């Protein structure tokens, strides 16, 4: 937890709250590895800065998160840097941690934490960020804001989003398990920062309080029939074709025509349409930024299950934010996600206004409407870019189909 970001008085006060009551860092060995050896020593040699405890030749240690146990063969100290050679080949990786074999820290992927939000853009649950803690870097998502804490009197206030310099007690999930200890036990293994995944701007500073019980109680069930088997049975390559664009751009029309073509060719498909999904799965969601993020998170997870079932799934959602479309893409294997940008100018969408929504938005009767008072972030490098001012819906569907066949 170093750098100019942490010299801000508000950040220092936030971190000092736990430091004042801390009983001190764990006395057991905690050595995050920033670097590992090269050549013959690649799997046995690592170096880093001690976060707690001491290390000597002959000590029994575990390599986390893998959990492999071995012994220390040699130790070299140069300033703050400790270089350790292990007795066994254990495939060390940067970000791994050497810990005392009989007193390991916890490993989990879901936590309760206190978070100080530092970005001008509000924090929305469900959005993905980069989490850095000790030498570990993973994708992290705030899954729930339990409450916001009033800065003056500590009153707990319900909240759906966090504004700049607000503090909250939150639930946090990471893409892979991380090695940690509560901040009050070890500030290095319990303190973290959140970065914007695209710009790497620091957006939040946090302190882990404890692991959530479901992090250790819920396990992945191995199944005999996998995606490859289902795809082979259907004799097709499963994919997610993700249509994005403004309301009225023609997404659903083009997606519907494309599904008809695929179905006629004997493909096994399913079309997830934004309006249709809001009649069932997402009927509880509105159109605030937080609800839009959750809307896309849910449909992306459904699409992933459908691809796992061996289907070609077409998704037609405005999906206005790049961060959520990137989140959806990361759920799929390489080449499985095809982003189709249905590019129609706002003026043309308003001229069509097939549902009368733009007129209501212009009159102020429809809040948070994409393109009017809520932003649309156009794709920067979609697999398919369809310009509907130059193509009919049928021609656009044909263009998408041809691009799919070439991939």
SS3 286: coil
Instruction: Write down the pLDDT at residue 91.
Output: 78
Instruction: Write down the pLDDT at residue 198.
Output: 87
Residue with tokens 């001229």: 351
Lowest mean pLDDT among 11-25, 158-172, 175-189: 11-25
Residue with tokens 């090695």: 179
Q: Select from 312, 306, 216, 317 the least CA-distant residue to 273.
A: 317
Q: How far apart are CA 314 and CA 242, in angstroms?
A: 6
pLDDT band, residue 4 (cuts 50/70/90): very low
Provide the phi-psi class of 319: left if phi over 0, else alpha when psi is between -120 and 50, else beta. Answer: left
Q: Comparing 260 with 24, which gets the higher pLDDT?
A: 260
pLDDT band, residue 38 (cuts 50/70/90): confident
State how far the alpha carbon of 71 is from the alpha carbons of 67, 123, 222, in Å.
13, 44, 33
Six-digit token string for 232: 């082979």
Instruction: Write down the pLDDT at residue 26.
Output: 57
Residue with tokens 């409407």: 369
Q: CA dihedral in degrees (167, 169, 170, 176; nearest 10)?
A: 90
Quick check: 189 pLDDT over 60?
Answer: yes
Lowest mean pLDDT among 11-25, 105-119, 174-188, 348-362: 11-25
Q: Which of 20-29, 33-42, 334-343 has the highest mean pLDDT?
A: 334-343
State how far the alpha carbon of 355 is from the alpha carbons of 137, 248, 312, 344, 397, in Å.
45, 8, 28, 16, 22
Six-digit token string for 56: 């000597």
Q: What is the pLDDT of residues 173-182, one digit of tens each?
A: 999 999 999 9
Sign of the CA dihedral with 17 first, then 20, 22, and 27 last: positive
Q: What is the pLDDT of residues 223-249, one digit of tens each?
A: 889 999 999 999 999 999 999 999 999
The CATH code belonging to domain 106-216 is: 2.40.30.10
Q: What is the pLDDT of residues 323-364, one digit of tens each?
A: 999 999 999 999 999 999 999 999 999 999 888 999 999 998
Q: How far apart are CA 89 and CA 321, in angstroms?
A: 45
Instruction: Write down the pLDDT at residue 399.
Output: 93
SS3 210: strand
Strands (E), 152-303: 156-157, 167-180, 191-195, 202-211, 239-244, 269-273
Tell me the catalytic residues: 319
pLDDT band, residue 192 (cuts 50/70/90): very high
The CATH code belonging to domain 30-100 is: 2.40.30.10
Share of the chain above pLDDT 70, in %: 93
Give the domain ranges of the chain: 30-100, 106-216, 227-406
Q: What kind and span of H or E run contains 46?
A: strand 45-49
Instruction: Write down the pLDDT at residue 41.
Output: 64
Instruction: Write down the pLDDT at residue 223.
Output: 82
Quick check: 212 pLDDT over 80?
Answer: yes
Instruction: Write down the pLDDT at residue 139.
Output: 95
Instruction: Write down the pLDDT at residue 40.
Output: 66
SS3 352: helix
Q: What is the pLDDT of residues 276-320, one digit of tens each?
A: 999 999 999 988 888 999 999 999 999 999 999 999 999 999 999
| Among the four given CATH numbers 3.30.365.10, 3.40.50.970, 3.80.30.20, 3.40.50.300, the one describing domain 227-406 | 3.40.50.300
CA angle 387, 391, 395 (to 5 degrees): 115
Q: Comparing 196 with 215, which gets the higher pLDDT?
A: 196
Task: Give the number of C-alpha atoms closer than 13 A to the C-alpha of residue 72, restricted to the C-beta side.
Answer: 23
pTM: 0.78
Phi, psi (5° rounding) for residue 296? Answer: -75, -35
Instruction: Write down the pLDDT at residue 6.
Output: 59
CB atoms within 10 A of CB 336: 18
Residue with tokens 């299950």: 305
Q: Comparing 10 with 309, which gets the higher pLDDT?
A: 309
Provide the phi-psi class of 333: left if phi over 0, else alpha when psi is between -120 and 50, else beta. Answer: beta
Q: What is the pLDDT of residues 243-271, one digit of tens each?
A: 999 999 999 999 999 999 999 999 999 99
SS3 299: helix
Q: How far apart are CA 295 and CA 283, in angstroms?
A: 10
Domains 30-100 and 106-216 are alike in CATH topology: yes
pLDDT band, residue 20 (cuts 50/70/90): very low
* Mean pLDDT, all residues of the chain: 90
CA-derived radius of gyration, the chain: 25
pLDDT band, residue 18 (cuts 50/70/90): low
Q: Select from 281, 318, 275 the least CA-distant residue to 299.
A: 281
Q: What is the pLDDT of residues 75-105, one digit of tens each?
A: 999 988 999 999 998 878 888 999 999 999 9
């Amino acid at each position: 937890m170093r750098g100019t970001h942490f010299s801000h008085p508000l950040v220092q006060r936030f971190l000092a709250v736990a430091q004042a009551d801390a009983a001190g860092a764990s006395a057991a060995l905690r050595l995050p590895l920033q670097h590992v050896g090269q050549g013959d020593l690649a799997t046995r040699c690592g170096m880093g800065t001690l976060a707690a405890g001491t290390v000597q030749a002959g000590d029994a240690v575990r390599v986390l998160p893998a959990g492999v146990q071995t012994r220390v063969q040699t130790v070299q100290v140069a300033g703050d840097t400790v270089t350790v050679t292990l007795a066994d080949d254990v495939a060390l990786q940067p970000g791994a941690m050497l810990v005392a074999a009989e007193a390991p820290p916890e490993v989990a992927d879901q936590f309760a934490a206190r978070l100080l939000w530092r970005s001008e853009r509000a924090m929305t649950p469900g959005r993905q960020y980069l989490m850095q803690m000790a030498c570990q870097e993973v994708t992290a998502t705030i899954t729930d804001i339990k409450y916001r804490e009033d800065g003056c009197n500590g009153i707990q206030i319900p909240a759906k989003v966090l504004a700049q310099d607000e503090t909250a007690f939150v639930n946090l999930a990471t893409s892979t398990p991380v090695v940690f200890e509560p901040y009050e036990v070890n500030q290095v293994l319990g303190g973290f920062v959140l970065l914007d995944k695209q710009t790497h701007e620091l957006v939040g500073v946090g302190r882990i309080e404890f692991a959530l019980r479901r992090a250790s109680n819920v396990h992945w069930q191995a199944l005999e029939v996998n995606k490859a088997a289902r795809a082979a049975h259907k004799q097709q390559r499963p994919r997610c074709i993700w249509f994005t664009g403004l309301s009225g751009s023609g997404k659903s029309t083009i997606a519907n025509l494309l599904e008809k073509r695929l179905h006629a060719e004997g493909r096994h498909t399913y079309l997830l349409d934004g309006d249709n999904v809001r009649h069932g799965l997402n009927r509880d969601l509105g159109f605030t930024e937080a609800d839009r993020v959750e809307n896309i998170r849910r449909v992306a997870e459904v699409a992933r299950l459908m691809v796992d079932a061996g289907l070609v799934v077409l998704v037609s959602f405005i999906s206005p934010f790049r961060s959520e479309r990137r989140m959806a893409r990361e759920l799929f294997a390489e080449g499985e996600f095809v982003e189709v940008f249905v590019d129609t100018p706002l003026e043309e969408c308003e001229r069509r206004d097939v549902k009368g929504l733009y007129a209501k938005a212009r009159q102020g009767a429809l809040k948070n409407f994409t393109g009017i008072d809520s932003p649309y972030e156009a794709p920067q490098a979609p697999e398919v870019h369809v310009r509907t001012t130059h193509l009919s819906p049928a021609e656009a569907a044909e263009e998408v189909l041809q691009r799919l066949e070439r991939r």
